[in-house]
Amino acid sequence: MSTPDEILDYNRQAWDRQVERGNCWTVPVGPEVIDRARRGDWSVVLTPSKPIPADWFPPLAGLEVLCLASGGGQQGPILSAAGARVTVFDNSPKQLAQDRLVAEREGLALETVQGDMADLSPFADARFDLIFHPCSNTFAPDVRPVWREAYRVLRPGGSLLAGFTNPVAYLFDEAASERGELRVAYTIPYSDLTSLTEEERRRLAERDEPLAFGHTLDDQIGGQLAAGFVLTGFYEDIDPGSVLGDHIPSYIATRASKPGA
């Protein structure tokens, strides 16, 4: 497996199986969450646990929002119930089905589109006012095209809210971390395809895990700047329950704006 299309296909099937397994990021929100969002009481996350600051969002009523690589029936339906006009874009058909499930159950006007986060060709230039992109580009082998496409489909003055993994998280041997040890085993940038042994990749496949890639901060943050964005917000978040989380935040969230009116 070496081409982007092969990786995309593999991860599509892996995330479909994660839905079947009940991965926590594939479980749709309940009616009570949607009811609160309709009453203005809502929050969403880009990273595992820390809610996004409320002032990172403009008023949502009528706002055109792209939930980028954000299927699973969670953030998209909440933003829709809060008043936004939401399009959820994801590689996994079963993840998108979770969003449609909530939309049909709650009577939400929410669109779903399947595709590659690095190719937003279904959308015209300057289509969206806001892009919500949680920790999902770890499943893309090259993140810079994601930033360029996000910039293209965002309107001038719009914002990209993005979460991603601190690359330090990919330095350590996973088996040792599960034993409570931090043992440096890899280099950054990291790739499941080239950093792991054949036996380690086999165990990943047995767990139906998608292929992951640990991008450098130069690609994650520098890539946004190179695409034309201006950073206007930043915070870090821990990985709850992980040994690394006891020492350093494992996740980063950024707010980036497209210059213009």
Grouping H, G, I as helix, E, B as strand and the rest as coil, residue 164 is: strand
Residue 105 has pLDDT above 70, yes or no: yes
Residue ranges of the domains in the chain? 4-166+214-257
Phi, psi of 85 (to 5 degrees): -100, 105
Residue 179 has pLDDT above 90, yes or no: no
Q: What is the pLDDT at residue 35?
A: 98
Residue 261 has pLDDT above 80, yes or no: no
Q: What is the pLDDT at residue 21?
A: 95
Q: What is the pLDDT at residue 241?
A: 81
The residue assigned the tokens 């969450």 is: 33
- Domain 4-166+214-257 sits in CATH at 3.40.50.150
Cα angle 127, 4, 94; round to 5: 65
Q: What is the pLDDT at residue 204?
A: 85
pLDDT band at 178 (very low <50, low <70, confident <90, very high): confident
Greatest CA separation for the chain: 53
pLDDT in tens, 124-136: 999 999 999 999 9
What is the dihedral sign for C-alpha 205, 211, 212, 213? positive
With CA atoms as reference, report the closest residue to 121 among 142, 161, 93, 152. Answer: 152
Residue 1 has pLDDT above 70, yes or no: no
Q: What percent of the chain has pLDDT over 90?
A: 88
Q: Provide the 8-state DSSP code for 185.
A: -
pLDDT in tens, 203-233: 888 889 999 999 999 999 999 999 999 999 9
